[in-house]
């Protein structure tokens, strides 16, 4: 799911993974900005509008992290987070803590509107994205006050030179 490039064409957003396009439906960009964001207020706003679509965040901790939270009829229904540098993808309920942490990081976001059918397609193709119902009144308890590093590079016995076959340069 890592997004190397976000391209906006004719008010539509297209995501690319390297050279391969992701399989999320193209939608209308309804908002964009910088993070940190007040996600509780944003979720309440999207709930009142019965929003269908997703909010995507890209933030920089030790590495670039991306997260997407999906809405259907204004209700949070799914989540996915990825950090390519540590080859980690987390989906569903397990991803929520990471996503909520990302709302406090430094980066940017896009709000993408889809049709209800498009949201249904996303979750039909990957049910692991689905999350338990979230009560918006309880949401503030899940959002940290500051961003914290969640992704760490595992210690590897090989040096960087070894990893690239250049151990003779030590």
Report pTM: 0.78
In the prediction, which pLDDT does 1 show? Answer: 44
Q: What pLDDT, on the 0 to 100 scale, is given for residue 17? A: 42
The arithmetic mean of pLDDT across residues 11-17, rounded, is: 46
- Give the residue extent of every domain in the chain: 5-169
Q: Is there a contact between 29 and 112 (Cβ–Cβ < 8 Å)?
A: yes
* Average pLDDT of the chain, as a whole number: 82
Looking at residue 148, its pLDDT comes to 84
For the range 80-84, what are the long-range contacts, defined as Cβ-Cβ under 8 Å and sequence gap of 24 or more? 80/1, 80/129, 82/1, 82/2, 83/2, 83/151, 84/2
CA R_g for the chain: 17
Please report the pLDDT score of residue 120 as a whole number. Answer: 93
Query: Residues 157, 58, 27, CA angle at the centre, nearest 5°?
Result: 135
């Amino acid at each position: 799911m890592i997004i190397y490039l976000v391209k906006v064409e004719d008010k539509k957003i297209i995501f690319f993974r390297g050279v391969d396009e992701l399989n999320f439906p193209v939608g209308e960009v309804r908002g964009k900005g910088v993070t940190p964001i007040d996600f509780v207020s944003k979720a309440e706003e999207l709930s009142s509008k019965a929003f269908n679509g997703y909010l995507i965040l890209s933030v920089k901790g030790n590495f670039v992290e991306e997260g997407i939270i999906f809405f259907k009829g204004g209700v949070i229904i799914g989540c996915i987070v990825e950090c390519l540098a540590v080859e980690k993808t987390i989906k569903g309920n397990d991803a929520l803590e990471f996503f909520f942490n990302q709302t406090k990081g430094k980066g940017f976001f896009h709000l993408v509107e889809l049709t209800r059918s498009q949201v249904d397609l996303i979750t039909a193709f990957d049910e692991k994205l689905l999350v338990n119902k979230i009560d918006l009144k309880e949401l503030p308890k899940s959002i940290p006050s500051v961003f914290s590093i969640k992704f760490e590079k595992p210690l590897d016995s090989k040096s960087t030179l070894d990893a690239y076959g250049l151990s003779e340069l030590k």
